[in-house]
Amino acid sequence: MASDLVSIVIVCYNNWPDLELAIESALCQSYQPIEVIVVDNDSSDATPSEVPLRYGDRVHYLRQANRGDSGGYNTGMQVAAGEFIQFLDGDDFLAPNKIEKQVAILRDQPQLDVVYGDMRQFQSYGGAAYWEDWETGEYEDMLQTFIISDGGPAYHSYLYRRRVVEGLGNWDETLYTSDLDYWLRAAWAGYRFRYCPGSWCFYRRRPGQMTTNSMAMMRGREAVWAKALDYITSEPYRSMVLDKLTHTRFRLAMMDRELTLRQAFGKLALARAADPSIVNLLSYTVGAVLIVLPGSGFLFRARWMKPVRHWISRIIGTYPERSSE
């Protein structure tokens, strides 16, 4: 380990030319020393030729079979030498003083393990840009925050001490939403988090990307909650995770077009029998009425019924959602 060094691990797959901005934002940090590691998940665009040509030995470029973001971070950590670790996706980038602000807090408070900041989400189509700021703030109980919000601050808003990354071990490459799993494990292990105001990261949102695929995200969370039950053993956190798992599985059933209405309602009845607080009486009654209506299966699945399906899913009783980035 190199004292004071910050390792920025960037994972990419067909992100050129956006990857250039991610790399430049890492190299141009006001804090030094910095090492930049780019892990390419077998891109078929200009990435394999452009990165070595443009950056040479200023960037440690690694190319591998596509193992997703988690596999890329694991590969990057095999060569990272820094005392502090920053993970970054090839679509996104960092504010110039992000690392400097966060290292200062970790230096000033050695008892802290992880520092996180704020996020600016943006998207641009046909020359028009849209920006949205997410100022995070301090959370008293990070484990509760991760559970309730299905995530937490943006994944690249964090700066980790090396001891955290080594203590947690690999990112779970079997999980679609491995960032949520990573944060849950960190909070459960007792690592101490602190908010750093004004330390910005930038998140690029695109149509069709992971965080806009609601079914895949839901299945990913289901797997994370099921895994969390294996190690989160104390209350009230275990009950919170169990509630999340139950809610998620029921919502998946309601979203599954291959289920008949009768099957979906059966899951509703089971969920209410297990815990009446999960499915309130109003939504249960709506389901009962729908199932006895002639042609109700076709009616409920019709495109124009989407607002009704959405309304029913909201009254079932779910926690507010936030993206896991």
Q: Could you tell me if residue 320 is inside a domain?
A: no
The predicted-structure confidence for 189-228, as pLDDT tens digits, reads as follows: 999 999 999 899 988 876 555 444 677 888 899 999 999 9
- Same domain flag for 59 and 120: yes
Strands of 13-127, DSSP E:
34-40, 59-63, 82-89, 93-94, 114-125
* The pair of three-digit structure tokens given for residue 265, joined into one six-digit string: 């309602």
Q: Could you tell me if residue 196 is inside a domain?
A: yes
Work out the mean pLDDT of the chain and round it to a whole number. Answer: 82
Report angle CA 207, 209, 73 to the nearest 5 degrees. Answer: 150
Q: Could you tell me if residue 322 is inside a domain?
A: no
| Run of H or E including 199 | strand 193-204
Task: Report the CATH number that the domain containing residue 86 is assigned in CATH.
Answer: 3.90.550.10
Give the end of a domain, one of 187, 211, 235: 211
| Run of H or E including 194 | strand 193-204
- Same domain flag for 29 and 94: yes
- Same domain flag for 237 and 203: no
Nearest to 208 by CA among 197, 199, 217, 219: 217
* The pair of three-digit structure tokens given for residue 95, joined into one six-digit string: 């504010």
Q: Is the pLDDT of residue 56 over 60?
A: yes
| Confidence category of residue 315, pLDDT binned at 50, 70, 90 | very low
Instruction: State how far the Cα of 41 lies from the Cα of 90, in Å rounded to an integer.
Output: 11
Give residue 60's domain range: 2-211
The predicted-structure confidence for 13-25, as pLDDT tens digits, reads as follows: 999 998 999 999 9
* The pair of three-digit structure tokens given for residue 20, joined into one six-digit string: 């250039």
Q: Is the pLDDT of residue 287 over 60?
A: no
Residue-level pLDDT at 246 = 82
Share of the chain above pLDDT 90, in %: 57
List CB contacts of 234: < 8 A, sequence separation 6 or more. none
* The pair of three-digit structure tokens given for residue 122, joined into one six-digit string: 């943006």
- Same domain flag for 70 and 15: yes
- Distance (Å) of CA 49 to CA 29, 39, 285: 24, 14, 60
Q: Could you tell me if residue 325 is inside a domain?
A: no
Give the end of a domain, one of 157, 181, 211: 211
